[in-house]
Amino acid sequence: MNNIQKYNQAFINILEIDKTQVNEGLALGVTREWDSIAHIGLISEMEELFDVSIDYDVLTEFNTYEAGMKLLEGLGVDFSND
């Protein structure tokens, strides 16, 4: 499984949504399933999947599908070859 597949699967698992719902429109507080509890679950899942540590100071930056990907790229996760 490549990094984009892992990233998408985390949203499917944590938000309990169908793979067809995973897209750039996912956003904290906008997507019904992505509430504050699910947000913590996503952060934890991303840290485990990609072996990174997301600082408390940037938790709020991970508020959309795209922003999460950019945050992880900043921590060294490569999505370019996926």
- Which pLDDT belongs to residue 60? 86
Task: Divide the 82 residues of the chain into consecutive groups of 10 and give the mean pLDDT of each group.
Answer: 96 97 95 95 96 90 95 95 64
- Which pLDDT belongs to residue 58? 87
Task: Give the 3-state secondary structure of 48-71.
Answer: HHHCCCCCHHHHHHCCEHHHHHHH
- Which pLDDT belongs to residue 57? 87
Maximum Cα interatomic distance, the chain, rounded to a whole number of Å:
31
- Which pLDDT belongs to residue 5? 96
Q: Which helix (H) or strand (E) holds 5?
A: helix 3-15
- Which pLDDT belongs to residue 82? 57
* Tens digit of each residue's pLDDT (9 = 90 or more) over 2-12: 999 999 999 99
Domains of the chain: residue spans and CATH:
3-15+26-74 (1.10.1200)
3 state SS of 40: helix
* Dist. CA 38–CA 21, nearest whole Å: 16
